[in-house]
Amino acid sequence: MNTRPKGSVRLVMLLLGFGLFACGGPQEAVDQTTHSSESWDPCGNLPGLALDLEAAASAPALIGQEDSPTLGELGPEGAKALAAQLQPQGTFCEAAPPAAFQPILEKAQQLADQGDKAGARMLLESLLDIGSLPGGGYLLSVRIQTPGQARSFIRGLLVAAGLDLALGGDGKDFIDQANTTFSEMANGELNSASFEETLRLADEAQRLGQDDIAQRTLERAQEIAAEGLDAAIEDLDPCLSNPQDLHDEITKLLLAFQTASLLGVPDTYGPGQSRYDATWSQATKALKALGGETPDECKGFSFDFAQPVSDGLMMQGSVHACGDIRGPWTGTFSLSGTTEGENVHTSGQIAFTIPQGDDTVEAQIPTTGSLCDEDGCCDVTDSLLLRFTLQGKSNADVLLSSDYNGTLVCPPDSEGNPGYNGPWVTVFSEGLKFEVPLKPYKECD
């Protein structure tokens, strides 16, 4: 029985084990009044996001030759490499303090170097009122709407806090303002944040000791990773005809699983877990197809088309083959729409067989239907000529034209005059030519 803890509870345990906020939260920073700014700085050398390297190491991965890969495990080094790729970029630690902060920070440092600690601290305090200074107010007014400005503002406050600590102060006012700014930004961004932005907010919350936001962001990251994995499992199509496309889809699925494993997404912890088993099954099936073994659900082909004939009239069809691409194909055809006040609808069955060793076939499509206007409806029959030419297993050319054997039969009018009885043409003799993509058909018995 798999007794490993799951979901967000498990992730919280990991965070506690690795150190959610290695440098201490704001209160710890306030108490360390004798420390230098370097020893306190939340942007110092801290552990990155706590990720489940053990789970990711056992995640499915492609191994072996590039042209004939097999399924294996990601391994410890692969897990470390992926974890490094997920470490957030663009946090407030990488931001520069606002331009409005720079002269004040530089002057305070000069005063400190000259021994005027009290003067330097007094000058730093002016940063807390920078919103009221000419040209500075925009920093406070837009920080929630623009994370880039908020991160710059937070970084400037943290630099000021570090300098205040080095000067004998407690840095509390600066730290409090940095935390307030971050909370407003995170709460405004989290619900719609991308995966990358969510990880960024998680990292920043950990550095500031804001455990509630850190937990919420990591739970959202789990949700996004889980949704991405479930979509990748659902979307992987082992019937893709292009080998490179199939290889790319397999890689995409496995990366989604590995990422989910790192973040502690439930049901990814090994055989017997639903997401693990589904990923392994889909990837195995796709790899067999990549090696030339056609899955049972891929032993069919289909194409659809929707082509305008004239203003208001649309010609549509859906055709499929079960078994080899060269063999019998069947489907349906329809012509419908309204033109010059007349409603047209005809339909018919498509049937043709592509001979072995050949790429082209011609066939007839008998159709019947009606043409109706305000005076009544006429019966329509027509016979189309179909020319179908394979272009490999991915595309085909289709040509539909009229054989001029169609008829239109209308009833007598209200005054007893004979109705029209004569030729009817669905498409012009030169026909309609178009290309269709061939898709897998998965409804064969």
Average pLDDT per run of 10 along the chain, which is 445 residues long?
Answer: 33 28 32 41 74 94 88 95 92 90 92 93 86 46 64 92 92 91 91 94 92 94 96 90 88 97 94 96 92 79 91 91 90 92 93 94 95 90 93 90 89 84 80 90 79
Compute CA distances 398 → 139, 200, 324, 363, 392, whole Å. Answer: 62, 51, 19, 11, 14
39, 241 contact by CB (below 8 A): no
Specify the pLDDT at position 247.
93
Whole-angstrom Cα distance, residue 40 to residue 47?
14
Token pair recorded at residue 180: 């307030």
Query: Cα(182)–Cα(411) distance, rounded to whole angstroms?
Result: 79
CA dist., res. 215 & res. 270, Å (int)? 25
3-state helix, strand, coil in the chain (%, to 5): 45, 25, 30
Residue 384 one-letter amino acid: L
pLDDT at residue number 137: 46
User: What residue segments make up the domains of the chain, in order of their start?
Assistant: 7-222, 300-440
- Cα dist. 174→19, 31, 146, 154, 289 in Å? 24, 14, 20, 9, 60
Distances from the Cα of 414 to the Cα of 17, 227, 344, 372, angstroms:
90, 64, 21, 15
C-alpha 307/C-alpha 315 separation (Å) is: 5
Region for residue 152 given its phi and psi (left: phi exceeds 0; alpha: psi -120 to 50; beta: otherwise): alpha
Q: Which residues contact 203 (CB under 8 A, 6 or more apart)?
A: 48, 49, 87, 88, 91
Residues contacting 342, CB < 8 A, separation 6+: 371, 372, 373
If one counts every other C-beta atom within 10 angstroms of the C-beta of residue 258, the result is 26
Tokens of 216: 């919420």
pLDDT attached to residue 130: 67
pTM over 0.75: no
Instruction: Identify the pLDDT of residue 129.
Output: 76
What sign does the dihedral 72-67-259-242 (CA atoms) show? negative
In angstroms, how far is CA 383 from the centroid of its own chain? Answer: 46
Confidence (pLDDT) at 29: 33
CA 168 to chain centre: 50
